[in-house]
A and B are shown apart, each in its own frame.
Chain A
Amino acid sequence: QVQLVQSGAEVKKPGASVRVSCKVSGYTLTELSIHWVRQTPAKGLEWMGGYDPEEGEIIYAQKFQGRVTLTEDTSTHTAYMEVTGLRSEDTAVYYCAILRSAIYYYFDSWGQGTPVTVSS
């Protein structure tokens, strides 16, 4: 049974950066495709990016390209999502999720979510 445990809530000032972690248990990171989704009252759920097993690389939604960096540390079974140049609109709950991509695509396991508040 795979489990995703995310780091705790963050409060940041505009312009700062935040890094959220997602620790995997029950599987190794190399067996999984971890993606990130955020949720805001204004925009709802937004897919940010993640590991594409077909391309063998991390892909990003165009909206987040350049300001979001997704990395993985296989030695600690932890995925990371970093957002730079934070703005108030980045205030959201950030989720990591496992993408299944055999015949069908879907996120079947999610972390508990990490609230990030951007405020001066």
Chain B
Amino acid sequence: EIVLTQSPGTLSLSPGETTTLSCRASQSVSGSNLVWYQQKPGQAPRLLIYGASTRATGIPARFSGFGSGTDFTLTISRLEPEDFAVYFCQQYENSPWTFGQGTTVEI
């Protein structure tokens, strides 16, 4: 099973700041098989990025994904108040498809 380790666990930031979240895989993941989701309290996850770097429909350009192999990042530029949430990465390289434990971005 591929283990995805996200860091840091929590980020305390202010609106307007830029941040980068990390997702490290225990074995190589093809970039096409790495996805990022955002989740707010009481809501289902929302697709942000697929194929490691392609923004989903309706996702603002301030969200950008990068990476290959075992190291992937999600950068959020100029945080907006609605960006404070939990962010998860997920891999589709091997079954079982696994998720990282999440990074909380808080004010």
A residues contacting B by CB (< 8 A) are: 44-47, 59, 61-63, 95, 97, 103-108, 110-113
Q: What number of residue pairs across chains A and B have CB atoms under 8 A from each other?
A: 59
- With beta carbons under 8 angstroms apart, the residue of A47, A59, A112 that contacts B44 is A112
**Binary A-proximity of B64-107 (CB < 8 A = 1, otherwise 0):** 00000000000000000000000010101001111111100000
Complex contacts, B101 vs chain A, CB 8 Å:
44
A65 vs B90: C-alpha distance when bound (angstroms): 21
A11 vs B82: C-alpha distance when bound (angstroms): 33
Complex contacts, A47 vs chain B, CB 8 Å:
90, 96-99
Do A108 and B56 touch (CB < 8 A)?
A: yes
Do B90 and A103 touch (CB < 8 A)?
A: no
Complex contacts, B95 vs chain A, CB 8 Å:
59, 61-62
A46 vs B1: C-alpha distance when bound (angstroms): 12
- With beta carbons under 8 angstroms apart, the residue of B44, B56, B97, B98 that contacts A111 is B44
Q: Distance (Å) between the CB of B36 and the closest chain A CB?
A: 9
A62 vs B37: C-alpha distance when bound (angstroms): 24
